[in-house]
Structures are given as C-alpha cells and as structure tokens.
Structure 1
Amino acid sequence: MSKHFRVPSRLATRLQKLGIRVPDLLQSAGLPPGLLDQPRILVTTEELFALWHRIGQSAPNPAIGLDLGTESKAEHFDPVALAALSTGSFGEAVLQMARYKQLSCPEEIILETDRDEWSIQFRWLLANEPEPDALSDLCFAWVLCVARQGTGTRITPVRLELMQPRKYAKALARHFDCPIAFGAARNAIIFRASDAAIPFVTRNAELLAMLAPQFDEELKQHSGQESFPERVRTVIQRKLTGRRPKMQEIAHELHISTRTLQRRLQDEGYSFQQVLEEARHQLARHYLNSSELELSETAYLLGYEDANSFVRAFRMWEGVPPAQWRGAQRLKIAS
C-alpha cells in the first residue's frame, strides 16, 4: 500500500479556472507554496485533508467537489480510470478500480451488495479524522462520471448517503439525480444491483491487455515493500467483520502455516496478538471518526464480546474512553 496520495498535476489549473487563488489556498492550508508546481505531487493523508478542507471553504461554489470529480475528455482520465473504462461492464470497472486503488494512495474502495442494492464506499486507511466534504463529493462524482462515460447513458444512483449535511443539497440532488440521505451512518453511493451488469460502450480489450499486466506488476512490487506485520494487519482488518479471526485463518489467507506466521512475526519483534490489537486500534479510530455507529456496534465489528471490553481496550490505546475521544475529534474538526 502506498503511504502517499498522488495529486493530479492539472489540479492547480482547474482550481484557478474555478476562481481559487492557489498560493493563498496552500498558505491557508499550511502547505508548501510550490506544492502543486511539482511534476509529481505526493502528499500524506493529513496534507490531503488539509488541502481539501481549504478547497471546500475557499471555493466560490461550495459544490466544487462535483466539478472537480467530473471529466468529459478521455485524455484527462488517469491510467487506472482508462483501464476501468476498458472493461466490459460497470461492475467490472469498479472492481478494477478497487483492485488497483492502493497503488496510488492509502485508500480502499468497499463494495457491498445487499439484495437489490449495490453500495460503493471509500475508506481512508491512514486517516485520523473524517474526510472533507468536498473530497467525499469528488469521489462519488468520479464514480458517477466513470459510470456515465462507460455505459454511454445517464445512469443514476438509487440514493446518496452522507453523514454530514450540506448547504448545497439542491446542487447534489441535481448532479446525482437521486435522493440524498443526510445524517447517515456512512458515506456511500448506492446503485441498483442490476446496474453492475450494464455493458460498457468504451470496452477496449486491447488497451486493457496492455495496462492490466503493468498494474499487476506494480501490485507485486508494492506487496514486496510492505512489511510482513503490515500484510498480516491488512488481512486481519478484512476479516474483522463481527468476529475475531483466528491465527489459522490468517495463515491460510497468506498461504503459509501457522508456525511460519508466528516465526516471521517474531523475527520482526511482533506477536499475533500485538498485530491483532493494532488492526483493531486502526479500525476503531476509523469507525469512531467516519460513522455514527454506536459503541456496541463498533465493538461488534471489531470482534469484541461486549462494549465494555472495547471501552477498556480503547482506553489502553488512547488514554480516554471512545466516546470522549470521538467528541474531542469532532470539536477539533468543528473548530
């Protein structure tokens, strides 16, 4: 997993066209004045969020994320998006983007199908606070942009779920052409499950055959750069869905024996329990920051038997109970 986000080099030009003075923006965000002039722009999650908080606050149009998340010219699509547009259907395209997303940033695309609905969420893996509204708007506008470009239709979601209200709710409703549910437990864009099968008119098997092997090779290289405890932690987090995964299960996912798993962790100064607690700690911060889940629901998702066990563990990690920590984080964002 990459630890930095790649910022498109065109961002500065687009911001200027939308009425934002880039030097003032960077200064108010506490970022280097020449940041967006670099040929390859890399920022941490904290820097990215600072940038997008200021974009949302400085823009003449508060719905600027929608403008920046929508492209009409193919030459402005990044390689991963081009590969997605070269697949056979909307569902294949999103799977393609989800597979290669972590090549460019510490972010994950989460896909869930529940009966007739198909939801798409973005999880910021190294975030210590909720993502800025403008950045969330951009992500969902980008999904819709790829869907409409690929299908050649004006496909519309079933609804958009957002945790925080927006003063520009009407602009959101016009852009996505669907109901907006504010105060939701998550940020997600929901389509019909059947939409995943809609074919892409942009399908290009030859281009995909050229791009996919290159991305796969990059994935292998990134996997090699990731430490073994980080790999174990990532697998544990995928398995933390209402139960505590067993060591044998994680070893099976990594295609090694339990004994080898233990030995390799010990070689790097870790135990399985330590990595499990780190995985829980990271996810706990994410859930408390990025959702309205009750403490009992968070405890369940992290594999604890009850909320009290989770509260005790969180107090050991952060020095304060989870409810107090969540409140402090929200006060920090509000200020």
Structure 2
Amino acid sequence: MQDNQQRVALQLLAYAAQKDVPITRLCQLAGIEFEALKQSQGTTPTAKQMSDLWRNAVHLSRDELLGLHLGEALQVAALGIVGELVRSSRTVGEALTHAAAYIHLLTDLFLMEVRPTATAFEVQLVPMPKQEHEDAFVARQLRDVLLALLLHEVNGLVLAKIQPRQVRLQVSAAELPEYQRVLRCDTITPADDIALVFDERYWHEPILTANYELQRLLLEKAASAQTTFAERQPIGTRITRYLLANANMGIPSLEDIAANFNTSVRNMQRKLREENLTYQQLADDVRKELALHYLHTSAHPLKEVSYMLGYNELSAFSRAFKRWTGHTPGGYQKRSALPA
C-alpha cells in the first residue's frame, strides 16, 4: 500500500513527464530512486526529497503554478482511498465531509474543514502549525493541488456545473487570471486563510457514482488506515491534529488528552520529552493558529475568542497574543480589516 508522500511523488513525476521534463534527471536532483519509488511497498520520500522534487519540477517545467495545473489535470483516483470515498458518496456535502475526515491520509500540511451556513458552505484548508522542517514552497504547491483537484473532480461527479461563489487565498496580481481560470471564479479575495465558498444548493447535489455498499467497505478500510497512520505519527503531531480537529470544544487539559489517547499523563509527558516538546508548547501553538484564524475570518468578539481559547480573562489572552505577534488582538483585527 502506497503512503501519501509516495503517491504525491509519483503523481508529480507522471505530470512532469507530460510536460517533457526528463524524469531521470528530476529524480537525480531530488535524490530519489525511481525504481524503488514505483514499488507498492516502495521507499517513502523524505521531506527534503519532496521539497527538492517540487522545486526542481517547477524549475525544469518552467511552470511556477505547477501545483495548480497538476490539481487541474489529476483524477480523483489519484487520492487513493479518500478519492474512492468521494466517488461513492451520496451527495457533494457527504463527499466533502468524508474528504475532510481523512485528508490527513493525503498530507500532513493541512487540515480540511467544511462549514455549511444558511446560504453557503465553505471548504477551508487549515495549515498545520509551522514546524522547522516544513517548506512554505511545497505547502503552497500542495495547497493549489488540493484546491484545483477538489473543484474539478467534484464537478466531474455531478450533473450540475459547480462554481465557487468566492475563493480566499493569497495570490499575486500577475497570477490572478490563471487562478480565476482554473478555480472558475472571478471573485478571488486576498486573505490569510484558504477557502472555497459555494452556494448552499450544491450541498445536496447527488453524485452519479454513489455506491452505498462500496462506501461502507471503504469506510472500514479508511478507519483501519487511519489507525495505522496515527500509530506511525509522532505524539506531538497526533496531539496537534486532535486539538485543531476539535477546536470547537476548546483546548483540553493534559489529563483529558491523555485519557483520549488511552494513556497515562506520565507516559504522554515522557513521549513528548523524547520529541523535545511539552503539552503547553503544543497547546500554545494551536491557540496562536486558532486566534489568527478567528480574528481573520469570524465576527466573534475578542472576549468570546479569548474564552474559546481557554483564557478566563481577556487580559491574559491579550498578553499571549502580543507575545505571539507583536500586536494586541484588537490592533491586529483592525489591521486585518483594512482593504488590501
């Protein structure tokens, strides 16, 4: 069974070959053994190899928006079991809900959140808190792959032509026309969050390839894969993912986290020490990410944001936020509201 890094590397190499990039040369530059990569139990590329692969693929193809174009060209089957869950779902809303639940089987750089409202629903890509090994260049390419693939493949599974009402992400003025073309949306708003916004009528749009029995089997397989995936992840990564995925429930105590992971507080602290981490560090990183997200994208009053992040006093939240960003929450919110 191929893991996510191996799958992405193979898809990238296949697409680069279509653009007349010499694959042997590209693999050499990235330090990847192509024959070993192709095996079903092949070598998993390291983070550095994936970074080198993306950078050299962009350079050799002379396509700065390679991720966007790769996502446009890919089929949902490229997502493996997650793609099959999308294809077998009953409706667009159900497909997106499954994709969000299992996106971590595809990438460790983003979480996906789906938020229905009265008149629309948003599909957000939420970056994981930055780690030293992460590469912003690769994260942007993968962001574009996911956005373009999501839009184009959902369109291929329904009778309606689905177009976003709005897209929020950071792109340059020179790149804007190409993003508008690929994402089929003229309203691309510069923002620090990443989101596709759709009219609510698409939520219940039936998927042509729905298969209830297959979906049941796929969900069992996905649950097994999720367990295997979790067991392989560092404890710090697992905790961070849990905190972000359950952000609406607030930041739990270390005791609650340990209980959720079926271990003791002492054992969890020991595993964190082995990774040179503490639970307080992880919780603060998540609080920072959530604070930036809430202040950018929601109308929550500062006091409510403070409460949601586990601060009993607004003053304590303000001190923490200023330590993280150099700004007070109110000042940051005003700066964010200014026209770009």
Q: TM-score, normalised by structure 1?
A: 0.71
In the alignment, which residue of structure 2 is the partner of 1:19?
Answer: 20
In structure 2, the residue matched to 1:210 is 217
Residues 68 and 196 of structure 1: CA distance in aligned 2, closer, same or farther (over 3 Å): same
Structure 1 residues 113 and 46: alpha-carbon distance in aligned structure 2, compared to 1, 3 A threshold: farther
Amino acid of the structure 1 residue aligned with 2:282: E
**What does residue range 159-198 of structure 1 map to in structure 2 within 5 Å?**
159-165=166-172, 167-198=174-205
Shift of 1:57: 4.5
| Residue aligned with 1:198, SS | coil
Query: Which amino acid in 2 is paired with 1:130?
Result: A
Change (3 A) 1:240 1:80: closer
1:130 aligns with 2:136: yes
Distance in 1 between the 2:295 and 2:156 partners?
Answer: 33
Counterpart position of 2:33: 34
In the alignment, the residues of structure 2 paired with residue 142 and residue 311 of structure 1 have an alpha-carbon distance, to the nearest angstrom, of 38
In 2, the alpha carbon distance for the partners of 1:34 and 1:255 equals: 37
- Structure 2 counterpart of 1:120: 123
- 1:32 deviation in Å? 0.5
Please state how far the C-alpha of 1:197 moved relative to its aligned partner: 1.3
User: How far apart in 2 are the matches of 1:77 and 1:278?
Assistant: 29
**What are structure 1's unaligned runs of at least 5 residues?**
315-320, 324-335
Determine whether 1:309 maps to 2:320.
yes
One-letter amino acid of the counterpart of residue 214, structure 2:
L
Cross-structure match for 1:9: 10
Residue by residue over 1:115-148, the C-alpha shift from the partner in whole angstroms, topping out at 9 and shown as x without a partner, is: 4222222234365453554432221111012211
- For the pair 1:280 / 2:280, whether they are aligned, the reply is no
- Structure 2 unmatched ranges of 5 or more: 328-340
After superposition, the Cα gap between the structure-2 partners of 1:152 and 1:58, relative to the gap in structure 1 and judged at 3 Å, is farther
Match runs of 1:42-191 below 5 Å: 42-45=44-47, 47-71=49-73, 78-106=80-108, 107-125=110-128, 128-132=134-138, 133-165=140-172, 167-191=174-198
1:261 CA drift (Å): 4.9
Aligned residues: 304
Alignment partners' CA distance in 2, 1:36 and 1:171: 35
Structure 2 length as normaliser, TM-score?
A: 0.70
Relative to structure 1, the CA distance from residue 225 to residue 168 in structure 2 (aligned partners, 3 Å threshold; closer, same or farther) is closer
Residue-by-residue CA offset, 1:145-194 (whole Å, 9 max, x unaligned): 22112213321111211123252322222222212424212122221233
1:197-251 residue CA offsets vs partner (Å, 9 max, x unmatched): 1110111223223322122122223344456665444433444569654457646
Read off the aligned partner of 1:5 and give its amino acid letter: Q
Q: What secondary structure is seen at the aligned counterpart in 2 of 1:9?
A: helix
CA distance in 2, matches of 1:144, 1:291: 25
Secondary structure of the corresponding residue to residue 108 of structure 1 = strand
- For the 8 Å contact 1:9–1:36, the answer to whether it is kept is no
Q: CA RMSD in A?
A: 4.1
Match of 2:330 in 1: none
Structure 2: which amino acid aligns with 1:139?
L
Distance 1:79 1:36, change over 3 A: farther
- Closer, same or farther: CA 238–72 of 1 in aligned 2, 3 Å: closer
Q: Helix, strand or coil: the match of 1:160?
A: strand
